């Protein structure tokens, strides 16, 4: 078995808590956070099925308390959103590489979307192939939907955060709509909060 050396710091948004920790990948450029979440790879912790293994974990509870633990196993079905922290291209695999892409990469077009879950309001760029409709992407089998250039607004804390890469659990989506081509990421944080509060 390949030794897991490469790691990625991720942030998991759940209903009552936010978890930050390191997930370990096999050290290949093809490794993606999305594969770990959707269970579509044979590499690394994905083999654990319904749970993600995180190390050096910080848990921020809904009551404001913080807990630090060495290792935690997180049930994927409880994760509403999963974001990479640090490098904007981390966890994106082949799609983040410059220049020609090798198979099985498929070029996709960005579509600005507005997503609502019970706890969070999200804007960002969803991706689909040329003739694909948004509902095709939503009905497709992978559970987690990738977004780039995302903003996450918490309904409970009224805090807005930016995430270069974000995966949204489709099982937690209340609604999704396409946005105008002028993305919210060009606005200030205060403008984003104001716009998101209008629709929440």
- Give the closest residue to 144 by CA, choosing from 84, 100, 188, 54: 84
Sorted by where each starts, the structural domains of the chain and their CATH numbers stand as: 6-85 (2.30.30.100), 109-199 (2.30.30.100)
Average pLDDT value for the chain: 79
Which residues fall within 8 angstroms of residue 39, CB to CB, at 6 or more apart? 46, 49, 76
Handedness of CA 67, 68, 73, 76 (dihedral sign): positive
The per-residue pLDDT for range 67-121, each reduced to its tens digit, is 999 999 999 999 999 999 876 555 444 455 555 545 555 667 899 999 999 999 9
Whole-number Cα distances in Å, 78 to 102, 106, 113, 159: 34, 30, 22, 21
In the prediction, which pLDDT does 165 show?
93
**44-77 pLDDT, tens digit each:** 544 557 899 999 999 999 898 999 999 999 999 9
Whole-number pLDDT of residue 2:
36
pLDDT of the residue at 175: 95
Share of the chain above pLDDT 90, in %: 48
Q: How confident is the model at residue 33 (pLDDT cuts 50, 70, 90)?
A: confident
145 or 28, higher pLDDT: 145
* pTM tops 0.85, yes or no: no
């Amino acid at each position: 078995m390949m030794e897991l050396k490469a790691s990625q710091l991720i942030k998991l948004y759940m209903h009552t808590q936010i978890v930050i920790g390191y997930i370990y990948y096999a050290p290949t450029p093809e490794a993606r956070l999305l594969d770990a979440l959707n269970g579509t790879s044979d590499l690394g912790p994905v083999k654990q099925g319904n749970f993600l293994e995180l190390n050096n974990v910080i848990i921020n509870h809904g009551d404001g308390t913080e807990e630090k633990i060495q290792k935690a196993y997180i049930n994927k079905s409880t994760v509403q959103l999963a974001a990479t922290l640090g490098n904007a291209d981390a966890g994106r695999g082949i799609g983040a590489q410059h220049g020609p892409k090798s198979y099985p990469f498929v070029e996709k077009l960005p579509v600005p979307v507005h997503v609502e879950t019970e706890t969070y309001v999200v804007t960002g760029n969803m991706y689909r192939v040329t003739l694909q409709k948004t509902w095709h992407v939503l009905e497709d089998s992978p559970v987690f939907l990738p977004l780039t250039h995302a903003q996450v607004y918490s309904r409970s804390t009224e805090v807005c955060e930016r995430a270069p890469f974000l995966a949204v659990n489709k099982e937690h989506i209340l609604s999704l709509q396409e946005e105008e081509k002028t993305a919210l990421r060009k606005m200030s944080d205060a403008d984003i909060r104001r716009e998101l509060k209008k629709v929440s």
